[in-house]
Chain A
Amino acid sequence: MNTFSHTSFYDKTHTVFGHHNSKILQWIFSIDHKRISLLYLFVMMGFFLVAVCLALSMRLELFSPGQDIMSPERYNQVFTLHGVIMIFLFIVPGIPAALGNFLLPLQIGARDVSFPRLNLLSWWVYVAGALLAISSLFVGDGFADTGWTFYAPYSIKTGTNVVWALGAAFILGLASILTGINFVVTIHRLRAPGMTFFKMPLFVWGLYSTAWIQILATPIVGISLVMVIFERVFGVGFFDPTKGGDPVLFEHMFWIYSHPAVYLMILPAFGIASEIIPTFCRKPIFGYHSIAVSSAMIAGIGYLVWGHHMFTSGISETIKLIFSVLTFFVAIPTGVKFFDWIATMYKASIEFKAPMIWAVGTFVTFIIGGLTGLILGTVGVDVYFHDTYFVVAHFHYTMLGGVAFLMFAGFHYWFPKITGRMYSEKHAKYAFFTVFVGFNLLWFPMFLAGAFGMPRRYFDYLPEFEIYHKFSGIGALIFATGIIYMLITLYRGWRYGELAGPNPWNATTLEWQIPSPPQLENFGTIPYVDFQPYEYINGEPVHKMDLGVKEGNKDA
């Protein structure tokens, strides 16, 4: 890797136990936030591919009615595993722990996060949780078959390894909390002098709001999952109707976390969009303040809307209406963000590079996801759509077509910063279009199937629905092909791409003012930040600085 003219973090690092000679130990014990972020990235993408394979096997099973390649029990375990991996191992840690870890210190002008050792610990905790989840596959009756929601009392009754899966989810929650604490403290303490909250890049705002959700909401689901473990091990009975417990209480406790978790996933993704749009529009972002504040508002109101997952569960009518109103209130700041991004495009000079195309494509899919969310927030309508494929399509349009797509947009955007090289622009665009076509073919038919009454989590279905499953099955294959295509393109860029230089996109935020890939401790000189994050004049950044560590000035 010594092709770069400087000593990057790939060449030099510090670990928790001092210095090792072994390359592997230098990675897995490194306390450099950039290395930890890459550790997260690889484990996470590995699990993403596993979950995609699981999804493909489900689509194959559902391609025709009746039992084809697996038994109903196996199918239920597969969709549970798919959900657990995608939620707890991929999308929750996704942007914050991988991209956020890499970029947060770079964007605020810090040399690392506040607690580098805690950062490494959180990765280890994450790996431990992942291993626990995976090992439960091979013990006893196999992985839990409860769905990722672990609804009691089924999760208390089933003979599968629910305790292990719950334990894994709890441990992964712990990792998420540690990351959250680290980020909040970093943002409060380590911003470069002069950088007030309203001079921070918007990705940092997204991470900040997310970190608060990680800190305040994760413990609630953590303790609820522990309660279910207690139910199974000690027979406590909080959620067990035979002992006077109330299963609906579990639904409450579960969604108090799991709904904010949705915003936990999407807020940093919005942050990525807010970075990409001004860079490729070559102008300052429209409504910086409203985008920043709306992140905090979404996080705040997002805590109080969990009940819209429970409109048919028999909760009180009054509270249904309150939840519905609050749900609509979350839509307003979200809408404002989109309007701001689109307004940024007005009188701009838009360059259609791969990250921008990903971002624009995501806007289309996420707006569909968001608007169907409004349909689902309408109480009486939700009673009809609840737990059908309409919901499945909705949350895949938001989570995959929103969060994951923006995450991929972020990969393309910061790829030159992380690797120091460029990928093939042409192949990256082709990969995007493959993914985009496959995605819509996969999920759009599900809106129709759901609207016509196809419930979710069905191993088999009435013959009326076959056509939708056929389309989805084909779409799934195209989608998976596109993902592989994208990963190959990125891999080839990493191995053989041209050197990118410090600022290939001519962007403004601090991470582009240092060499790519960054050096250990990121900055040689930390600037006094008395300017806004996105300042352009005639499409050129106003501030051009060279903040890298000067070789030889600092030794180990």
Chain B
Amino acid sequence: MHNQPEIIYDKQGNAHVIVDYNDDYIGAKLGFWLFLFTEMMIFGSMFLIYAFYMFQFSDTFVQYSATLNVKMGGTNTFILLVSALTMGLSLVRLRQGNVEGAKKFIWATIVLALIFLSIKYFEWSAEIHHGIYPGSPTLKSMGDGAVMFFGLYFVITGLHGIHIILGIGAMIWVLGLVRKGKITPTKFVVLENTALYWDLVHLVWVFVFPLFYLIH
């Protein structure tokens, strides 16, 4: 609305900029960080439930951790690592003025995220094929510890998967904004926030992976 920043003067005559609420870069970023805090609390409380039952059923947790597919999980870890890099580089490219390069890196991230999801899909189908899914009779017969371990496994990785899907949605939306010229090398806060979101998704996986796949 206001293209020129509004300025007022105090008694000593020093100039002070009035922050325009319609176009406030730091505000937008701060708001997004606050949103990330809520995500942090959500996953934080899921890990709290994990820790609670891990303490109670530690032997079972170790036992069933060994049955998870470390190869698939490990591959996914690397995929996410690379995707976080490509997402970061897209921001670097955009700020250097290279819009096309930025778009390419966003596409690369989307492709990596889709690969992540399909590996996850195969992993889950294998487990569901064996009759292991929340509420299944097989799982019930494996005992309380197994119910908790796989319950947590499906809920946390599922929640993480939903975040990946939302992230893909956000990136496609960002690409649309870039095409419409709403994201430019000087107006990049939406892309930066999306990158922050993607880093959080990665961050969660950094903890999910060892806690489920590597404690045996």
Contacts and interface: CB of A to CB of B under 8 A. Distances in A.
Q: Do chains A and B touch in the complex (CB under 8 A)?
A: yes
A244 B38 contact: no
A244 B27 contact: no
Contacts of B39: 219
Given A215-B34, A219-B45, A190 B21 contact: yes
B27 to A, nearest CB: 4
Contacts, number: 126
Interface in B91-133: none
Given A188-B30, A189-B19, A193-B17, A243 B38 contact: no
B207 interface: no
B10 A227 contact: no
A235 B9 contact: no
Interface string A183-194: 011101110111
A194 B24 contact: no
Interface residues of A, number: 49
Contacts of A219: 38-39, 41-42, 45
Dominant secondary structure of chain B at its interface with chain A: helix
Contact of A526 (B8, B44, B152): B8
B34 A185 contact: yes
A189 B21 CA distance: 8
A113 B21 contact: yes
A188 B30 CA distance: 9
B164 to A, nearest CB: 18
A279 interface: no
Contact of B52 (A114, A182, A249): A249
B195 to A, nearest CB: 19
A236 B140 CA distance: 10
B9 A528 contact: yes
B16 interface: yes
B173 interface: no
A356 to B, nearest CB: 34
Contact of A215 (B10, B37, B147): B37
Interface string A488-531: 00000000000000000000000000000000000001111010
Contacts of B9: 528
Nearest to A217: B41
A243 B147 contact: yes
Contact of A189 (B10, B24, B52): B24
Contact of A236 (B18, B19, B155): B155
Contacts of A177: 38
Given A219-B42, A222-B42, A237-B151, A189 B134 contact: no
B31 interface: yes
Interface in B1-44: 6, 8-11, 16-19, 21, 24, 26-27, 30-31, 34-35, 37-39, 41-42, 44
Which of B34, B37, B48, B143 has the most CB atoms of chain A within a 10 A radius of its CB? Answer: B34
Nearest to A230: B155
A397 to B, nearest CB: 31
B16 A238 contact: no
Given A193-B10, A223-B45, 20 more contacts: A113-B21, A185-B30, A189-B19, A190-B27, A216-B38, A216-B41, A218-B38, A222-B42, A236-B134, A236-B151, A237-B134, A237-B148, A243-B151, A244-B53, A244-B145, A244-B148, A249-B49, A526-B18, A528-B11, A530-B11
6 contacts: A113-B21, A193-B18, A194-B10, A218-B38, A219-B42, A243-B144
Interface of B: 6, 8-11, 16-19, 21, 24, 26-27, 30-31, 34-35, 37-39, 41-42, 44-46, 48-49, 52-53, 56-57, 134-135, 140, 143-145, 147-148, 151-152, 154-155
Instruction: Kindly list the 6 A-B residue pairs having the minimum CB-CB distance in the complex, ordered from nearest.
Output: A244-B144, A235-B135, A193-B16, A219-B41, A189-B27, A528-B10
